[in-house]
Structure 1
Amino acid sequence: MKIQEIKNSAQNKYEAIIEYLEQDDGYWLANDKWDLTEKFFFGRVIRKARYINFLNINNKHLKNELKFYFIYNFKENLLKDSYITCLASTLKNFSNFLNKYYWKCKSFNAIDGDNFKFKFKNYLVSVGFKMSDKGIISSMEMNGILYILDFIKDFYDDREETKKDIWYAKNIKGAKIPASGASHGNYNSGLDFNRISKYYKETVKKYFKTIITKKSWIHCKNSLDKIVYFFDYFYSNGYDDGFIENLNRNDIEKYLYYVGNDRKDKNKTETTKYIAWVRTFLEYIQIAQYDKAPEKEVTFLIFQDDIPKRELNPDVIKRAKFIPEPILKQLDNNIMDLDRPQFIPIYILLRETGWRGTDILNLRYHNCLEQIWNSKEESYNYYLCGEITKTGIAQLKIPIRDKVAEMVQKSINKAKELSTDDNNPYNYLFNTYEGKLKGKPLAKANLLYTIKRLIEQKDIRNVNGELYHFRLHSLRHTRAKEYIEQGMGISIIQQILGHQSLQMTVHYATVTENVLYEKWKNTEDLELFKVDTETNNLEKVDLNSDTGENLIRYEYVKKNLDAVRVPFGVCFKASKLPCKQQMNHCLTCASFCTTTENIPEYEEEIEHVKKQIDISERCGRELWAEKNKTYLKLLKDTLTRIKEQKIVHKNGKSREEV
């Protein structure tokens, strides 16, 4: 039973809690000391702990609410087993605290949160816990147990989630939560708007309501953190309610100076968000005409140049970006030997698409494979279809090879055969059908461990002779690099990978040293031109000469790919534009006359055209190669006629008669 189901079915909230605790033959309600080794519980000792002990809590109502928190998070797999047992170890101090201050209380829902935290902090200090100079107690007791209060209050609150001051992803329809990452702490902890001043709280909530189903949950949490940081700076520096409406450039410059010093020597990419995301927030509430938006235009408050450029540590990029080619070949060749075969199609899809692991694990068997008509090939092609939760793409479709599509179809057939409403309610393609994780996709961590075991089994080592340290996300980076090396356009790669910005795609646009050399080699022998800066004449460059210090080299390599050699130059006309003058029609003109005196010109022109054909063919420009071949044939035919006839003049005889 899930929280929403309980809310809808029970008349009384406390009765609903009792109903929930009566599961498993009433074990959770009847016993105040839970045995972790029970088969319907964890089934084992965890971190040397065997029991969760509620015996010391005298208040029955609070005890049952506390039990509900533990068992609900266990059954819904919302908290890790290690976290639950670690939290259970704090119950001794927490029980004594409840017995001292709240022995008459009927519910956690009736407790004032701020007063509760203040009392609990003082209690912990009184029993020996240390407090920092900033008034913080760093302990599981202080930081973990307090979530119980928020959890119970949320349970009793029947309002729509976005009306509350703390939002939980599980209660928001359409929240962007990756299926494989839903058990992560970032998804279970809520968006806490109590960190925003009462004056601006509703403004911030209204803004987040517009993005909560468009951006990933993690993005929303991070964005709220940056906005809270922004508010905290101004309130801690003497600004009062209403400061946003009256912001001026001087205020922003002070904030920028503070960020620059506070974030000095910290991650530049993360620092960027403290300015860029705040500007996005301010711009939106201004454009949407919120009552408490800045009166001055935001573009005049925060300039584009104020946002630090994103920088990544070159050493990190070099170490973590791509899987070396020898390693990749060994992985691809041995992947069928994975000790857990259910992960084989997942690896293949990661290699085929370059998608994130969470995106592949989030595929649904009822809509992940489509056939789309291709008018050019006049056939149906297979496309993989899935939701990209990180960037908010509801349905991304990318082409895949027929063999991969056949593998996906087999996985679909298997999923349909094994799935029921109970064991796979969300139609995951790669689902867990039994056990604690029933109804959730296969775990990404298990895929990683499986591949690491394969690396050990096959003794796959790096250049230093060490077992290769595999990172799952490196498959995405590697596939992006392959797309680049195969000549695919950046904007197409952006769409395939599901990137939100082209800048992120460009970050992947790296080729190997071998490919870099090959691309350079293609241009090494090309003719280069230079422009005389005094005469503006186009002249050939002698690459073996040191002369021409007053000349500028004009490299036409890329432009030259779509070029047709014509007498005295090159034509760069676009391939789609017709032109009767592009080819040398003088050679076929009735008024044209040529003799053996022109043979050297023909031979030189033939050599130039041959080079142009070679350039076009090497660079895959077949259309321009064919045009130059047509011109070459005309030159050769004319030269042959000259050698045979000594003079070629189509209307020569008739003109002599005239």
Structure 2
Amino acid sequence: MKKDRIHIYEMESYKHASEEQRNSMRICKIRYFDLEGLPSKEVKEILEAFIWERGKTLALSSLATELTTYNNIRKFLIEKNITVLQNADPEKTVRILKGWMLEKGLALSSMKYRAAYDITARETPALERKLRQILKFAEVKDEREEQEKDIWELEKFEFPIRRNPIKNVKTLNFTDILQPDIREEVKRTIFLHLKYSALGTIHSEMTAVKRFSRFLNVRKPELESLQELSREDIEDYLIYLQTETTERKNYRSDLYGLKRVIEDVGNIYERRHLLQLFLNNDFPSTPRYQFKFYSDATIKRLNSHIFNMDEQIARALIVHQLLGTRISDTLTLRMDCLREKEGRYFVRIDQVKSITYEKAVSNEVGRLILKAMEYTKERYGETEYVFVKKDDPTKPYQYGMIQAQVMRMIRQKDIRDDNGELLKFGTHIFRHCYGKKLTELHIEDWMIARLLGHKTLQSVHHYRRIGNKVMADETRKTREKMDLILMDIIKGWDGYEL
């Protein structure tokens, strides 16, 4: 075996793969990554380390693509005599790569159709993505405290972060805040917020600040610090949002995020005037929320295809419908979420966004959850969640995966709504359907709120609005019977007080 070759069969991903995975490989195991002829010792050492690192986690099914891309990168490095990768200027190196690609007749970009969303989008070529990956790997490790960097790796913070487990967010990126002083002010503020705010809230604040930064960069380049802001600057920004931007229909939540950041910058740097920049009437009124739902016929058509999906994904989607929970709460059901008491199943809902509560479910739902638990335990052993990622069972199913698979199925099977329009799928609509059904059964508002896991009655009127069945005298007996059933269920909930 030559020293300048790393064979596929030497890589950890191959050694630890099952026989079935090896047999399904799209590449011969004796193929190798060639290190011969690289233009410098440094480049060779970096690429060798990069390949071995990739070999630890790369799926066998991806090796063919990886090898082809690597071979082209190797040719580029040799022909353009790139002798330095460590801490190289990434944009300059990528520009050299693009020039080489033009010489070789390789496309600088391509348009890719994304069936799940029925859109065609520009795609960065694999060669550019791979070179950026190598350059990132070659960077000298930054030994500064994480909060001092411009890109934070969330796993490196020692305190717990309130994140949504079904969304795979690993970093916070401050590089798009264009003014260096503002970037540092925001980093200090976000670091404090990260300790007590949900990660989703942090992202909203970051989006708001980045938009404001772009505005300042174009309209007020002399402003280099949030501490210099005046009421006039805020009014100019409000006018800009109202008259020139088209990114959103309503900037209410965006402005509240910006306000939180600016006011906390004022608290940190003792600039009290920053706490007075926003007035109550600066914020647009809350947009009227249009609750959408599916008809029973549409649900039936959709479910007939869901039943033919991967069995565990199908279980997750059916359980989701039957529980009426948010998708984040369904996908984060724990292995200890189910208990049996007096012949009845109770499921504990650990809401990501709100309270933890418990509610009774039918025997059928209980058995379905048990079946999902058995499936996971049989394949992955002891896990925290019922529905887990195949490549990382420590994490639950990711929302993006569920969404993409269902959207792809809708387009492939041409599933349409009652108006003949291609179905626009959103998992939260199942929750709307669940709430609507409760209103059609004429259940009291407080009980609907409890069944949906709401702290208050505030949202119940939305479900009332979309319920289209009118109460009649002949339904009274049915309603009273349902009330008795649900009251009996309520009595079994831990911590409930009438």
Q: TM-score, normalised by structure 1?
A: 0.53
Distance in 1 between residues matched to 2:339 and 2:129, nearest whole Å: 48
1:67 corresponding residue in structure 2: 51
Indicate whether 1:234 and 2:194 are aligned.
no
Distance in 2 between residues matched to 1:214 and 1:306, nearest whole Å: 26
Indicate whether 1:194 and 2:175 are aligned.
yes
**Cα distance per residue 1:427-447 (max 9 Å; x no partner):** 221346xx6455554566469
Query: Structure 1 residue 167: deviation in Å?
Result: 1.7
Distance in 2 between residues matched to 1:87 and 1:247, nearest whole Å: 53
What code does the residue aligned with 1:385 have?
I
Alignment of 1:250-649 (within 5 A): 250-264=232-246, 266-269=247-250, 271-286=251-266, 289-291=267-269, 294-298=271-275, 300-311=276-287, 321-328=292-299, 338=308, 340-343=310-313, 345-366=315-336, 368-369=337-338, 382-388=346-352, 391=353, 393=354, 396-403=356-363, 406-407=366-367, 410-411=370-371, 414=374, 418=378, 423-424=380-381, 426-431=383-388, 436=391, 440-441=395-396, 445=401, 449=405, 462-464=417-419, 471-487=426-442, 497=452, 510-513=465-468, 515=469, 518-519=470-471
1:164 corresponding residue in structure 2: 149
Greater CA deviation, 396-405 or 169-178? 169-178
1:121 corresponding residue in structure 2: 95
Query: Structure 1 residue 41: deviation in Å?
Result: 10
Residues 416 and 73 of structure 1, relative CA distance in 2, 3 Å threshold: closer
Greater CA deviation, 165-174 or 50-59? 50-59
- Report the RMSD for the aligned CA atoms in angstroms: 5.2
Query: Do 1:424 and 1:440's aligned partners in 2 also have CA atoms closer than 8 Å?
Result: no
What code does the residue aligned with 1:193 have?
F
5+ unaligned residues in a row in structure 2: which ranges?
A: 110-121, 481-498
Q: Percent identity?
A: 18
5+ unaligned residues in a row in structure 1: which ranges?
A: 1-20, 31-36, 132-136, 373-377, 523-613, 621-658
Distance in 2 between residues matched to 1:477 and 1:340, nearest whole Å: 25
Residues 456 and 212 of structure 1, relative CA distance in 2, 3 Å threshold: same
What code does the residue aligned with 2:249 have?
K
Distance in 2 between residues matched to 1:470 and 1:148, nearest whole Å: 38
1:563 corresponding residue in structure 2: none
Query: Structure 1 residue 360: deviation in Å?
Result: 1.5
**3-state SS of paired residue (1:255):** helix
**Cα distance per residue 1:99-157 (max 9 Å; x no partner):** 74751x4x63xx15xx43245336635864989xxxxx984455674354445548x34
**Cα distance per residue 1:42-79 (max 9 Å; x no partner):** 8337xxxx99887775421221344256446635x9xx
Distance in 2 between residues matched to 1:234 and 1:504, nearest whole Å: 38
**Cα distance per residue 1:427-478 (max 9 Å; x no partner):** 221346xx64555545664698589979999x98643568866543321221
**3-state SS of paired residue (1:209):** helix
1:546 corresponding residue in structure 2: none
Q: Per chain length, whose mean CA-contact separation is higher, i.e. which structure has more relative contact order (CA < 8 Å, sep 6+)?
A: 2
Distance in 2 between residues matched to 1:305 and 1:152, nearest whole Å: 51
Distance in 1 between residues matched to 2:237 and 2:192, nearest whole Å: 26
Residues 272 and 341 of structure 1, relative CA distance in 2, 3 Å threshold: same
Residues 359 and 55 of structure 1, relative CA distance in 2, 3 Å threshold: farther
Distance in 2 between residues matched to 1:98 and 1:192, nearest whole Å: 33
**Cα distance per residue 1:464-494 (max 9 Å; x no partner):** 5688665433212212323444456667766
1:559 corresponding residue in structure 2: none
**3-state SS of paired residue (2:11):** helix
Indicate whether 1:96 and 2:76 are aligned.
yes
Residues 126 and 242 of structure 1, relative CA distance in 2, 3 Å threshold: same
What code does the residue aligned with 1:248 have?
S
1:655 corresponding residue in structure 2: none
Indicate whether 1:146 and 2:117 are aligned.
no
**Cα distance per residue 1:290-337 (max 9 Å; x no partner):** 01x643153x422233223454796xx6xxx211123335667x6995
Query: Do 1:175 and 1:217's aligned partners in 2 also have CA atoms closer than 8 Å?
Result: yes
Number of aligned positions between the proteins: 446
Distance in 1 between residues matched to 2:455 and 2:94, nearest whole Å: 44
Query: Do 1:383 and 1:398's aligned partners in 2 also have CA atoms closer than 8 Å?
Result: yes
Query: Do 2:11 and 2:55's aligned partners in 1 also have CA atoms closer than 8 Å?
Result: no
Decide which structure has the larger Cα Rg and report it: 1
1:27 corresponding residue in structure 2: 11
Query: Structure 1 residue 204: deviation in Å?
Result: 1.8
Of 241, 247, 272, which aligns to 2:229?
A: 247
**Cα distance per residue 1:73-92 (max 9 Å; x no partner):** 635x9xx969x949964873
Distance in 2 between residues matched to 1:44 and 1:163, nearest whole Å: 44
**3-state SS of paired residue (1:263):** coil
Alignment of 1:188-227 (within 5 A): 188=170, 190-196=171-177, 197-212=179-194, 215=197, 217=199, 219-227=201-209
Distance in 1 between residues matched to 2:36 and 2:327, nearest whole Å: 44
